[in-house]
Structure 1
Amino acid sequence: AIYPPGEKINLGLDLKGGMHVVLEADTSKLPPGETVEEAVNVALEIIRNRVDQFGVKEPTIARQGSNRIVVDLPGIEEPQRAVELIGKTALLEFKLMDEKGDINKALKGEVPPGDEILYDSKGEPYLLKKEVLLSGRTIKDARVEIGQWGQPYVALDLNAEGADKFAQITGRHIGERLAIILDNVVKSAPVIRTRIPNGKAIIEGIPTLEEANELRIVLKSGALPVPFNIIQNTVVGPSLGRDSIRNGFWAGIIGLSAVIIFMAVYYKKSGLIANLALLLNLLFLLGALAALKATLTLPGIAGIILTIGMSVDANVIIFERIKEELAGERAPRSAVDTGYKNALRTILDANITTLITALILFEFGTGPIKGFATTLSIGILASLFTAIVVTRVIFNLILIRPVRKLSI
């Protein structure tokens, strides 16, 4: 079923509105022994998991070149939140606070050896030991929970390895403060009251439930292997998408009407057969888009309009061959059979060469180019079926009884 089409056919970024983001890997921070290709491949899966959990329908996440990732999010309502979610490295670290050091002296440049200064989201400085006691790689699960005062926090479950390390850390440093750091921002620094053997930790100090949920998503999906910089961020408004749909719709209606009128006037009743095949062609095309869950883009609409012309072109070739046979004093039945036979090779040659081009565009193109190639490929196959098979069946039904003159 293709009705209602707005629900059955997925609309692309340029029609539905949304966000287009291009991320570039910071290769200067590549971990030793890891290649750019490996890092980008891992990042692709992590970003895909984050977007899936964010709830975006039909996103497009693809690699571009050697070190870039392109993300298209149709219909996104909160682009800024999405950007923060996608681009966040989400490097979680546990470090001890140096409570013996003097933070004031450290701020003046006298940082003790092996220490560093990091800040929380409010700009409060913390003097921490550089040694990373535990990282986010050991997180097994993360979930949002609500504290007794209604404040959200993120509860962490560590895997077996992480639980063992966490038990050792908390057992060895009772009474000290353990800072929980995300992307070099201190989230909390609680005092270790007792040894924690069950591999559970919490991150507090999160102001809103939305931020807590975003933190849960990035921690659960894992940290990006390298930082990614956003080099392009384009937001397409829904009103612009509606304008594109309306303009594309009217362009299709005008083109379709012009073709239908021309065929009916020039080829008479045979033109009406071609028009019926054309409408079936469009129906098959929309049905295929819905069944394949393909995304319709503005170039895709251009592909549909081009398909209208190509569909009729096949009928024009067939009808001209039939007219040539009728001019040679052939009977209508014989003229139709010969006309279809003589036109078949020309139609196949023209459509197959176009189909090959469309498949190449689909294979090597990205985003809108793939949308154009998809609708064009489906349209070519549908037009071949309707022009060669459907119209032939209709002619055969008409010519069951002897006909003295064919309206063509």
Structure 2
Amino acid sequence: MIFIPLWQRVLVVLATVAAILFAAPNLFYDRVERSNDARASIAEGVTAPELEADAALWPEWLPSGLVNLGLDLRGGAHLLAEVQVTDVYASRMDAYWPTIRDALAAERDTVGFVTREEGGDPSQLRIRISEPAGASRAVEIVRGLAQPVVTLTGGGASDIEVTASGDILTVQLSEAERAATDDRTVSQALEIVRRRIDEVGTREPTILRQGADRILVQVPGVGSAQEVKDIIGTTAQLTFNPVLQRTTDPEADPGAGNVLLPSLDEEGVYYVLERAAVVTGEELTNAQPSFDQNGNPAVSFQFNPQGARAFGEYTAENIGEPFAIVLDEEVISAPVIQSAIPGGSGIITGQFTVEESTELAVLLRAGALPAELTFLEERTIGPELGEDSIQAGQSAAYVAMVLVTLFMVASYGFFGVLAVVALVINIIMIIGIMSAIGATLTLPGIAGIVLTMGQAVDANVLIYERMREEIRRGAGPIKAVQEGFSKAISAIVDANVTTFIIAAIMFFVGAGPVRGFAVTLAIGVVTTIITGVFVSRLLISLWFARTRPKTIVV
């Protein structure tokens, strides 16, 4: 009998059973999908007899994960939007104007009266002073207000450029700040679009940045592109609220005039907040990652004059008290007020990494789209095309399966049948893993599964050819099988590892169809090693234990 450790036998059996359980829901796709949607609605507090009936369509104790169908299989909407990044320059200049005005007013004896010139380029701030002789002093004052351009690698050049011509001062963002602003604006728009679409509960939307200022949005299962545009156009609600209590009780009574909201990052933590906000996201003009006085990552923010006044008065009266930053009914941060924060700007410190401070800054700015989105492409893909694609993919898979089966049986007889059984288990494992992780299946993904069929039996071909060589040398049945597996396994692993590396590169570098192909190819590599080596060996071992052949023909 071929020796296989008991733990290997148990693991192979458990892996096969688990794959069957996780893949099974896809045989009842519509039923499971309706059940999952109903349970999600009930969890959100929606109750209705039809929802309870739908929730009972699939047993709750069974796995209910499905392979999500991509846009090319399910139908949906495809949008390509361009972010008008230049819109942000004007708002930045508007935010700078009160600070510059107050700074110049303090030097009235030198620069005279200060007025803002309307019209002209909105990305420039034009300021007239009544004393042209004080222009150089005015330039010096305004340059003193400049801040370093903050990036993930630290500070750099000044964020504004100041020039003077007679009695006119021109202030505009520097080239370095424009580049940083463009990047932040597109990142912010991307985050807002993702949050808006994710809230609708669509399955596996594709939301990617393309180029410097474009966003690709693909949403499966949506009736029209206009629906997606309407979803993107909604506005997030950002508020800054006083904190009354921190609790772990989700049923706590917040009291009249208060609200109980969950923490975004701390699971099981809730905050009781005053319903009336101190300031709202509409008064926030900027938030970006920065560094505190100790060089630790932090987040700086800035309000408009109205928000600055309200925020300054509140922080002066509540030193030592926490206040909550609330986004879409979730508390994303609850820092403690260390001191009064006048002037409309402040900094949020904490145990942040650079990536976390960047993410928090994006969330703080996610109250509204930072700039207009111009839709360059709008396409609605009907589900009929998806059905045709699925049928074509199924036909290709069936043909491939039949041809592989005929080849293996014709070439290796009974051992070819065992290889086909392992191949079927391989496909089940791919579907099971994709269901468990919620992966998306696209038309190129189906091609990846078909390619995996060839790779899977290729492992068996290597093993069986090694077995043939051992038989020619006069080895017995058990010796031939053991040597066939032991000598072929290194070649199988090497071939599949290189394929996995290629699939990983395709996934991280590619986009759209390329990633769909890479997902199934990478999963197929893993399952091929499992089934080609361990499952096949266990099947042969069970056959040997039952028949105890004196000779074998491969």
TM-score when normalising by structure 2? 0.50
Measured in 2, the distance between the counterparts of 1:252 and 1:91 equals: 45
Following superposition, the deviation at residue 138 of structure 1 comes to 4.6
Aligned partner of residue 30 in structure 1, secondary structure: helix
Following superposition, the deviation at residue 398 of structure 1 comes to 2.7
Measured in 1, the distance between the counterparts of 2:427 and 2:203 equals: 25
Q: What is residue 169 of structure 2 aligned with on the other side?
A: none
Is the 1:332–1:405 Cα contact (8 Å) retained in structure 2? yes
Following superposition, the deviation at residue 54 of structure 1 comes to 3.4
- Counterpart of 1:297 in structure 2: which amino acid? T
- Residue 24 of structure 1 is aligned with which of 56, 60, 82? 82
Is the 1:50–1:221 Cα contact (8 Å) retained in structure 2? no
Q: How does 1:8-407 map to 2 (within 5 A)?
A: 8-31=66-89, 32=92, 35-86=181-232, 88=233, 137-138=282-283, 222-400=367-545, 402-407=548-553
Following superposition, the deviation at residue 164 of structure 1 comes to 8.9
Gap runs ≥5 in structure 1: 93-133, 140-160, 166-219
Measured in 1, the distance between the counterparts of 2:309 and 2:184 equals: 29
Runs of 4+ in 1 over 3 A off after TM superposition: 88-92, 161-165
Measured in 2, the distance between the counterparts of 1:388 and 1:47 equals: 45
Aligned partner of residue 203 in structure 2, secondary structure: coil
Deviates more, 1:326-335 or 1:395-404: 395-404
Is the 2:442–2:513 Cα contact (8 Å) retained in structure 1? yes
Is the 1:340–1:388 Cα contact (8 Å) retained in structure 2? yes
Is the 1:89–1:226 Cα contact (8 Å) retained in structure 2? no
Aligned partner of residue 371 in structure 1, secondary structure: helix
Aligned partner of residue 23 in structure 2, secondary structure: coil
Aligned pair in 2 of structure 1 residues 52, 317: CA closer, same or farther (>3 Å)? same
Measured in 2, the distance between the counterparts of 1:397 and 1:252 equals: 29
Aligned partner of residue 474 in structure 2, secondary structure: coil
Measured in 1, the distance between the counterparts of 2:483 and 2:201 equals: 57
Aligned pair in 2 of structure 1 residues 238, 163: CA closer, same or farther (>3 Å)? farther
Q: Percent identity?
A: 40
Following superposition, the deviation at residue 136 of structure 1 comes to 6.7
Measured in 2, the distance between the counterparts of 1:63 and 1:138 equals: 27
Q: What is residue 121 of structure 2 aligned with on the other side?
A: none
Q: What is residue 299 of structure 2 aligned with on the other side?
A: none
CA RMSD after TM alignment: 2.6
Following superposition, the deviation at residue 27 of structure 1 comes to 2.6
Measured in 2, the distance between the counterparts of 1:78 and 1:298 equals: 21
- Counterpart of 1:350 in structure 2: which amino acid? A
Aligned pair in 2 of structure 1 residues 254, 30: CA closer, same or farther (>3 Å)? same
Is the 2:75–2:221 Cα contact (8 Å) retained in structure 1? yes
Aligned residues: 291
Aligned pair in 2 of structure 1 residues 16, 89: CA closer, same or farther (>3 Å)? closer
- Counterpart of 2:405 in structure 1: which amino acid? I
Aligned pair in 2 of structure 1 residues 226, 263: CA closer, same or farther (>3 Å)? same
Is the 1:362–1:373 Cα contact (8 Å) retained in structure 2? yes
Following superposition, the deviation at residue 326 of structure 1 comes to 0.7
Following superposition, the deviation at residue 30 of structure 1 comes to 2.7
Measured in 2, the distance between the counterparts of 1:315 and 1:282 equals: 15
Following superposition, the deviation at residue 91 of structure 1 comes to 11
Measured in 1, the distance between the counterparts of 2:234 and 2:214 equals: 15
Measured in 1, the distance between the counterparts of 2:236 and 2:502 equals: 44
Deviates more, 1:316-325 or 1:360-369: 360-369
Measured in 2, the distance between the counterparts of 1:56 and 1:45 equals: 16
Deviates more, 1:24-33 or 1:258-267: 24-33
Measured in 2, the distance between the counterparts of 1:50 and 1:91 equals: 8
Measured in 2, the distance between the counterparts of 1:56 and 1:50 equals: 10
Is the 1:89–1:227 Cα contact (8 Å) retained in structure 2? no
Is the 2:79–2:225 Cα contact (8 Å) retained in structure 1? no
The C-alpha deviation readout for 1:217-237, integer Å capped at 9, x for no partner, is xxx973211112111222211
Is the 1:314–1:387 Cα contact (8 Å) retained in structure 2? yes
Measured in 2, the distance between the counterparts of 1:404 and 1:136 equals: 80
Is the 1:29–1:227 Cα contact (8 Å) retained in structure 2? yes
Is the 1:91–1:135 Cα contact (8 Å) retained in structure 2? no
Gap runs ≥5 in structure 2: 1-21, 34-65, 93-176, 238-278, 285-305, 311-364
Is the 2:75–2:384 Cα contact (8 Å) retained in structure 1? yes
- Counterpart of 2:24 in structure 1: which amino acid? Y
Aligned partner of residue 73 in structure 1, secondary structure: strand
The C-alpha deviation readout for 1:316-340, integer Å capped at 9, x for no partner, is 1110110111111111111111111
Measured in 2, the distance between the counterparts of 1:332 and 1:135 equals: 78
Aligned partner of residue 56 in structure 1, secondary structure: coil
Following superposition, the deviation at residue 62 of structure 1 comes to 1.6
- Counterpart of 2:510 in structure 1: which amino acid? G
Aligned partner of residue 532 in structure 2, secondary structure: helix
Aligned pair in 2 of structure 1 residues 135, 228: CA closer, same or farther (>3 Å)? farther
Measured in 2, the distance between the counterparts of 1:317 and 1:11 equals: 34
Following superposition, the deviation at residue 162 of structure 1 comes to 6.5
